[in-house]
Amino acid sequence: MNVRFEPARALSGELRVPADKSISHRAAILAAMASEPVRIERYLHAADTTSTLNAVRALGALVEVRGDELVVRGTGLRDAGEPDGPIDVGNAGTLLRLLPGWLAAQDGCSFTLDGDESIRRRPVDRIVEPLRQMGAELHASEGRFPPLQVRGARLRAISYELDVASAQVKSCVLLAALAADGATTVGEPARSRDHTERMLLRAGVAIHRNGRRVTVVNADELLLDGVSVPGDPSSAAFLVAAGVLVPGSRLLLRDVGVNWTRTGFLRIVRRMRGIVLGDLEQETGELVGEEPVSDLDVAHGALEGTLVEADEVPLAIDELPLLALLGCFAEGETVVQGAQELRVKESDRIAGVVDGLRGLGADVEAADDGFAVRGSGGLRGGVLDARGDHRMAMLGAVAGLASREGVEVIGMDAAAVSYPGFVADLERLCGG
Ligand code: S3P
Give the count of alpha carbons within 13 A of 256, CB side only.
30
Rounded distance from Cα 376 to ligand 1 centre (Å): 31
* Strand positions, DSSP E, 200-300: 207-210, 213-217, 227-228, 250-257, 275-277, 293-299
Tell me how far the alpha carbon of residue 93 lies from the centroid of ligand 1, in angstroms. 8
**According to the model, what pLDDT value does residue 321 have?**
98
Pocket test for ligand 1, best of 186, 199, 317 (most atoms within 8 A of CB): 317
- The atom number, within ligand 1, closest to the CA of 166 reads 14
Nearest CA to ligand 1 atom 16: 166
Maximal CA-CA distance, the chain: 61
Nearest-CA residue for ligand 1 atom 13 is: 166
Active site residue 318: yes
Q: Which atom of ligand 1 is nearest to 171's Cα? A: 12
> Distance (Å, rounded) from C-alpha 18 to C-alpha 290?
19
Q: How far is the centre of ligand 1, averaged over its atoms, from the C-alpha of 138 (Å)?
A: 21
Ligand 1 atom with the shortest distance to the CA of 169: 14
pLDDT value for 300: 98
Region 144-173: mean pLDDT is 98
pLDDT score of 284 more than 90: no
pLDDT digits (tens, 9 = 90+) for 308-327: 999 999 999 999 999 999 99
Mean pLDDT of 179-206: 97
Residue 44 pLDDT exceeds 90: yes
Per-residue pLDDT, 285: 87
User: Are 21 and 232 a contacting pair, CB within 8 Å?
Assistant: yes
Q: Which of 94, 173, 343, 350 to mutate to test the pocket of ligand 1 (most atoms within 8 A of CB)?
A: 94
DSSP string covering 329-370:
HSBSEEEE-S-GGGGGSSS-HHHHHHHHHHTTT-EEEEETTE
Q: Residue 313: what pLDDT? A: 98
Q: In what order do the strands lie in the sheet with 213-217?
A: 159-161, 183-187, 213-217, 207-210
Q: How far is the CA of 344 from the centre of ligand 1 (A)?
A: 11
How far apart are the CA of 425 and the centre of ligand 1, in A? 25
One of 20, 114, 318, 385 is an active-site residue; which one?
Answer: 318
Q: Is the model's pLDDT at 342 over the cut of 70?
A: yes
Ligand 1 atom closest to Cα of residue 317: 9
Which range, of 13-22, 62-71, 162-171, averages the lowest pLDDT?
Answer: 62-71
Determine the average pLDDT of the residues in 183-190.
97
Top mutation candidate among 24, 26, 166 for ligand 1, by most atoms within 8 Å of CB:
166
Q: How far is the CA of 335 from the centre of ligand 1 (A)?
A: 21
pLDDT per residue as tens digits for the range 115-145: 999 999 999 999 999 999 999 999 999 999 9
Q: What is the CA radius of gyration of the chain?
A: 21
- Which ligand 1 atom is at minimum distance from the Cα of 167? 14
Query: What is the overall mean pLDDT for the chain?
Result: 97
Site to probe by mutation for ligand 1, drawn from 21, 168, 343 as the one with most ligand atoms within 8 Å of Cβ, is 168
pLDDT band for position 253 (50/70/90)?
very high
Q: What is the pLDDT of residue 68?
A: 81
pLDDT above 70 covers what percent of the chain? 100
Within 6 A (CB) of ligand 1 lie 22, 94, 166-168, 171, 192-193, 317-318, 341
What are the CA-CA distances from residue 94 to residues 175, 182, 306 (Å)? 13, 26, 29
Per-residue pLDDT averaged across 248-263, rounded?
98
Q: 56 CA distance to ligand 1 centroid (A)?
A: 20
The pLDDT-based confidence of 17 (bands split at 50, 70, 90) is very high
432 has a pLDDT exceeding 70: no
pLDDT band at 236, cuts 50/70/90?
very high
